[in-house]
Chain A
Amino acid sequence: MKISAFHLMPHRELPADFEKKYESVWVTPPWWEVADPARVGQYYNWTLDELIHAARMGFDGVCTNEHHQNAYGFMPSPNLMGSVLARATNGSNVAVVQMGATLPTSNPPIRVAEEYAMLDCISGGRLVAGLPLGSPMDVNLCYGITPMEHRERYREAFALTLKAWQAKEMFAWNGHYYQLPTVNLWPRPIQQPHPPVWVPGSGSISTFDFAVDNEACYCFLSYSGARSAKTMMDGYWNVVEKKGRQANPYRAGFLQLVAVGENDADAEAKYARHVEYFYHKCLHVPAPYFAPPGNQDYRSLVATLNNPVRRAENPKDLRYRDFVDKGYVIAGNAATVRDRLMEEVVKGLHVGNLMVLLQIGSMPHELAMENIERFGRDVLPSLRRVWDDEGWVNHWWPEKLRGAAPVRTPAGVAAGGA
Chain B
Amino acid sequence: MREQTIAVWQDKVRMRVLSDGSGPPLVFFHGSWGLTWDPFLAELAKSFTVYAPEHPGTTPEAPDDIYHLDGLWDLVLCYDELFGKLGLDRPALVGHSFGAMVACEVAAAYPARVGRLALIAPFGFWRDSEPIVNFMVLDPGQMRARVFRDPDGAAAKQLLGGGGDNPQDGAAARVRLMWAMGTTGKFIWPIPDKGLKKRIHRVQAPTLLIWGKEDRLLPPVYADEFTKRIAGARLQTISDAGHCPQLEQPDAVVRALRGFLTS
With both beta carbons as reference points, the residue of chain B lying nearest to A297 in the complex is identified as B64
Q: B136 and A293: CB pair below 8 A? A: yes
Which residues of B are found within 8 Å of A302, using beta-carbon distances?
A: 175
Which residues of A are found within 8 Å of B139, using beta-carbon distances?
A: 286-288
Q: For the complex, what is the distance from the CA of A141 to the CA of B175, rounded to whole Å?
A: 21
Chain B 57-70, CB within 8 Å of chain A: the 1/0 string?
00000011011001
Which residues of B are found within 8 Å of A288, using beta-carbon distances?
A: 136-139
Q: A292 and B137: CB pair below 8 A? A: yes
Q: B175 and A147: CB pair below 8 A? A: no
Q: For the complex, what is the distance from the CA of A138 to the CA of B217, rounded to whole Å?
A: 24
Confirm or deny: A140 has a beta carbon within 8 angstroms of a beta carbon on chain B.
yes
Q: B66 and A293: CB pair below 8 A? A: no
Identify which of B66, B138, B178, B190 contacts A140 (C-beta below 8 A): B190
Chain B interface: which size bin? 20 to 34
Interface SS of B by simple majority: helix
Q: A148 and B182: CB pair below 8 A? A: yes
Which residues of B are found within 8 Å of A182, using beta-carbon distances?
A: none
Confirm or deny: A314 has a beta carbon within 8 angstroms of a beta carbon on chain B.
no
Chain A 117-142, CB within 8 Å of chain B: the 1/0 string?
00000000000000000000000110
Confirm or deny: A178 has a beta carbon within 8 angstroms of a beta carbon on chain B.
no
Q: A149 and B186: CB pair below 8 A? A: yes
Confirm or deny: A32 has a beta carbon within 8 angstroms of a beta carbon on chain B.
no
**B59 CB to closest chain A CB, in angstroms?**
12
Q: B179 and A293: CB pair below 8 A? A: yes
Q: B63 and A146: CB pair below 8 A? A: no
With both beta carbons as reference points, the residue of chain B lying nearest to A295 in the complex is identified as B182
Question: What total count of A-B pairs have CB within 8 Å?
Answer: 70
Q: How many residues of A contact B (CB 8 A)?
A: 24
With both beta carbons as reference points, the residue of chain A lying nearest to B32 in the complex is identified as A293
Listed residue (A289, A291, A305) with the most chain B CB atoms within 10 angstroms of its CB: A305
Which residues of A are found within 8 Å of B171, using beta-carbon distances?
A: 305-306
Chain A 274-301, CB within 8 Å of chain B: the 1/0 string?
0000000000001111011111011001
Q: For the complex, what is the distance from the CA of A292 to the CA of B190, rounded to whole Å?
A: 11
Which residues of A are found within 8 Å of B185, using beta-carbon distances?
A: 146-148, 292-294
Q: For the complex, what is the distance from the CA of A305 to the CA of B161, rounded to whole Å?
A: 14
Confirm or deny: B181 has a beta carbon within 8 angstroms of a beta carbon on chain A.
yes
Confirm or deny: A144 has a beta carbon within 8 angstroms of a beta carbon on chain B.
yes
Given A292-B136, A298-B64: A144 touches B190 (CB 8 Å cut-off): yes
Q: For the complex, what is the distance from the CA of A147 to the CA of B171, rounded to whole Å?
A: 21
**B139 CB to closest chain A CB, in angstroms?**
5
Pairs A–B under 8 Å by Cβ, sample size 21? A140-B189, A144-B189, A146-B189, A148-B182, A148-B185, A148-B189, A176-B70, A286-B139, A289-B137, A292-B137, A293-B178, A294-B181, A294-B189, A298-B63, A298-B64, A298-B175, A301-B179, A301-B182, A305-B171, A305-B175, A306-B168
Top 8 nearest A-B pairs by Cβ distance?
A294-B182, A293-B181, A293-B182, A298-B63, A146-B189, A144-B190, A148-B186, A288-B137
